[in-house]
Amino acid sequence: MLERDDAVLVVIDVQDKLARAMFEKDELVDNVRKLVRGADVLGLSVILTEQYPEGLGPTLPDVAELIDARPIPKRAFSCSGEPAFVEALEAAGRRQVLLCGIEAHVCVYQTARDLVESGYQAHVVQDAVSSRTESNRRAGVQKAADVGAERTTVEMALFEMLGAAEGDTFKRIASIVK
């Protein structure tokens, strides 16, 4: 069960040159934005990474504008291969890690695998990850689950952390997912 006091959101490599080639790109970006906005309402820390930004460009402006954190550049496919990411995750002090971004079968999967091996609960937000092909997206999500990551969706994760349909926070989350 996701708990907002123990969760952190990791937005992986949602960069211009990568995003253009993704399966169902518009849905991906829309769902990442919903997740980031919901994380803000729920008080989650957000860690943002960029794969080889010199070649693949910065995070999409539509996503970057919602995140206060500076992007962590990386070369390793797994975010855990970047010491600055490991430091940011440890500083967050939370054990449940929501993963969204691209590509599902490379960076998202490898990050999920490494997090599970390090004792974290990795939660792959399957409607907020993508790959160039649908089959690679499905394979990445499945393989992450095979190594112990949980599968969830944007709405499932946000409402699970919310816990009850009451108050201003519920109204704000409900308006985000509509």
Would the pTM count as exceeding 0.95? yes
pLDDT of residue 116: 98
Q: Where are the chain's structural domains? A: 4-177
Residues of the chain below pLDDT 70: none
Residue 160: per-residue pLDDT: 98
Pairing between β-strand 121-130 and β-strand 72-74 as defined by DSSP bridges: unpaired
Answer whether 9's CB lies under 8 Å from 47's CB: yes
Neighbours of 165 (CB within 10 A): 10
Question: 158 near 42, Cβ under 8 Å?
Answer: yes
pLDDT at 59: 98
Helical spans, DSSP H, in 67-162: 83-92, 109-117, 134-146, 154-162
29 close to 63: Cβ distance less than 8 angstroms: yes
The span from the CA of 178 to the CA of 166, in Å, is 17
Structural domain 4-177, CATH architecture: 3-Layer(aba) Sandwich (3.40)
